[in-house]
Amino acid sequence: MRRPLSPTLAKLAEKEVNETPDRIQQDIIILRVWIRQQPHLRARTDDDFLIAFLRRCRYSLEQTKRRIDRYFTHYNLFPEIMNNRCVTQRLLDINRLGVCLYPDMPKGDSRTALFIARFGHFDPNLYMLREIYHFTSMAMEIVALENDYASLAGICEIIDLEGVSSDKMRRFDKVLFRKWWNWLYNCSPLKVKEMYIINMPKDIQGTIMFLYNLLSMQVSYPIRVLKSSEELIEHIGKETLPEEYGGTNGHMGECMAYMEDLLNSYRGYFDQDCNYGTIEELRHDEITIYEAEFGASGSFRKLNWD
């Protein structure tokens, strides 16, 4: 069973995702039965994985089913990211680049968890963008399972564009980015609550602002463009940011070391990844809404969610 929550997090769970401790195990059983009844679906059924998706969908069982189905369908639709997800030395090297950072949360804080992307910190001659997304998909799944702040309050994404040149932007794969954005928005077990773009070089402003305007129309959360990392403190606070950004929440090196430890501890987990996905030839019609779960018993939950 899921690790117990602190009183602060328990209140956050009830407020943010409609989590009721007495109902969790029942919902897990319902999802496991449903997964077994889908001939096309090969999905994980362990507690932590299912709870992460339930939280993402604010405990709407039907929305959880759809997100889980989409998640594993993307093993076929997004193979460049979702296939061959194994913990290799090259993956650990990407983590050590510090391109994607996941600072640990201060104890007792109920804010969103942080995700910092620094795309200026990898050399496109040595690493491909799909490798960065590949690593990020694995790291985000681990965070969804390990960080209760992230799965309950969502994540605050910081896009730091320092070091991103016009040459790197010319190599930017828009098709891959659209696939990644679709996966993040429609499939990921983590919810982005807010996004900040900082340190934008002048020579790429046109491209970035085009993407900014496009994304702003597609999402419900705020996307803010700031001039410098100093402005982040006004929005996020020192207690959440790493020291390199003027905060007090540890060093970036600690973030990399923490994620490396997690990746190594999840080797067995990702070794099993080849067992999951969908067999589209066996797919039935739309996901069935079972009367026993959502009909006369009155257990259907009318929830507000994005």
Higher pLDDT, 129 or 169: 129
Joined tokens for residue 10: 């328990």
Q: What is the pLDDT of residues 239-256, one digit of tens each?
A: 888 889 888 888 899 889
pLDDT above 70: percentage of residues in the chain: 89
Q: What is the pLDDT of residues 40-79, one digit of tens each?
A: 999 999 999 999 999 999 999 999 999 999 999 999 999 9
Pair 111, 156: CB distance under 8 Å: yes
Q: Is the pTM of this model over 0.75?
A: yes
> Roughly what angle, to the nearest 10 degrees, separates helices 174-186 and 61-77?
160
Computed over every residue of the chain, the mean pLDDT equals: 85
Give CA–CA dist 201/204, Å, rounded: 6
DSSP state of 279: -
Q: What is the pLDDT of residues 285-294, one digit of tens each?
A: 654 443 333 3
Give CA–CA dist 305/64, Å, rounded: 12
